[in-house]
Homo-oligomer: A and B are copies of this chain.
Amino acid sequence: MFVKNAWYCAGWDYEFTQSKDSLVTRKIANERVVLYRRLDGVLVAFEDRCPHRQAALSLGRKEGDSLRCMYHGMRFGPDGTCNEIPGQSRIPDRACVRAFPVIEKDNWVWVWMGDPVKADPALIPFAVGPSEPEWNIKTSKMHVKTNYRNEIANLSDLSHITWIHENTVGGSRKYTEVSPEFELIPRGMKTRYWVRSCAAPGAARHLFAPDALFDIHFDICHTIPCTWILHYRLFTAGTATEGESNGQLILDTWSSQAVTPRDEDSVDYYFSWGASRATDFPGGSDMLKEAVVIAFQEDAVQLEAQHIRQKEKPDFQQIDIPLDAGPGKMLWVLDRLLRQEATEQISLSQ
């Protein structure tokens, strides 16, 4: 089950080059999508399926702004309408390929999988991309064989960084003792909290004295289907027990993360991390990015094992604990959107 009327991240803008042969194929929410740039650089997104006999358009050829299916030669303009059928002059109205709204923003490419009329660019979530001049953002991507609900739950409760990520981006029991401030927003949730007098994250511990302590602030904007933008600030531990830390800000960072379901069994994960130019140090942002790459491999092992087990016992009576507050809220937001779309579908068909 996927929300259709939503922007899904299709990758980093640099993956979609202007080159003559650059056709990128993706699977997004169970639909196959092929993307390419027009001569003016604007991106086009089609269903990767020729309307004639379902041939793969991603095996086709760019011709100017058009895309030719290389099976029987039908050619489609950037709006999806056919502009040539070899062997005939008349082109039937139905001979068009489904075109998806596509927008580039903050170095990400976004595709709208639902009704094009509802494709409101204002719904594209805020992010901090690698071209932001004030930030030294490093990017990566990964494929994980789990249902995207597990990724949403994983990102909605960071207490797990105590355990899974003890040697990378977490490692202190302090992360399990926080009191997050949740704020529901139209398609998601904001989460803010302090972790005070905490050891450095595992991957950075060698940079500091063994007993060095820090105040860390997490400020997260999490939206459906799954975009997760983190403003992460690291201070030397201060004496304040509430409100802003009175320690020294030593690292000011942004991590932007987008999880795009391919289907019910796997996701593509596009993510970045990096420090402000003011607080970065040589190798600093690369270290952050490497830490998150390893951390996401740590997550992948667990989320893939979890997915296998969930498929084996779909009716397993699981127990809930207080740490499920964040995941519960985000999955409630997701399920509400899914129900809403299902209801609209029923209304439309009556």
**A350 contacts the other chain (Cβ, under 8 Å)?**
no
**A318 contacts the other chain (Cβ, under 8 Å)?**
yes
Min CB–CB distance A158 → chain B (angstroms) = 11
The answer to whether A322 touches B73 (Cβ under 8 A) is: no
Where chain A touches its partner, the secondary structure class is: loop
The answer to whether A162 touches B86 (Cβ under 8 A) is: yes
Chain B residues whose C-beta falls within 8 Å of the C-beta of A95 in the assembled complex: 319, 321
Q: Whole-angstrom distance between the alpha carbons of A323 and B87 in the complex?
A: 7
**A14 contacts the other chain (Cβ, under 8 Å)?**
no
**A294 contacts the other chain (Cβ, under 8 Å)?**
no
**A208 contacts the other chain (Cβ, under 8 Å)?**
no
Q: Whole-angstrom distance between the alpha carbons of A54 and B74 in the complex?
A: 49
Chain B residues whose C-beta falls within 8 Å of the C-beta of A182 in the assembled complex: none
Chain B residues whose C-beta falls within 8 Å of the C-beta of A310 in the assembled complex: 54
Q: Which of B53, B59, B69, B85 contacts A301 (CB 8 A)?
A: B59
Chain B residues whose C-beta falls within 8 Å of the C-beta of A68 in the assembled complex: 163
In the complex, which residues 196-225 of chain A have their Cβ closer than 8 Å to any Cβ of chain B?
none
Q: Whole-angstrom distance between the alpha carbons of A157 and B52 in the complex?
A: 14
Q: Which of B49, B71, B86 contacts A316 (CB 8 A)?
A: B49
In the complex, which residues 82-114 of chain A have their Cβ closer than 8 Å to any Cβ of chain B?
85-88, 92, 94-95
- Known contacts A72-B160, A72-B323; is A306 also within 8 Å of B87 by CB? no
Chain B residues whose C-beta falls within 8 Å of the C-beta of A141 in the assembled complex: none
In the complex, which residues 155-204 of chain A have their Cβ closer than 8 Å to any Cβ of chain B?
157, 159-160, 162-164, 173, 176-177
The answer to whether A86 touches B51 (Cβ under 8 A) is: no
Q: Whole-angstrom distance between the alpha carbons of A32 and B87 in the complex?
A: 42
What would 21 A/B residue contacts be, using CB atoms closer than 8 Å? Answer: A32-B309, A49-B313, A52-B320, A52-B321, A53-B318, A54-B313, A59-B302, A70-B163, A71-B160, A71-B302, A71-B306, A72-B159, A72-B163, A73-B160, A73-B162, A73-B176, A86-B323, A87-B323, A88-B322, A92-B319, A95-B321
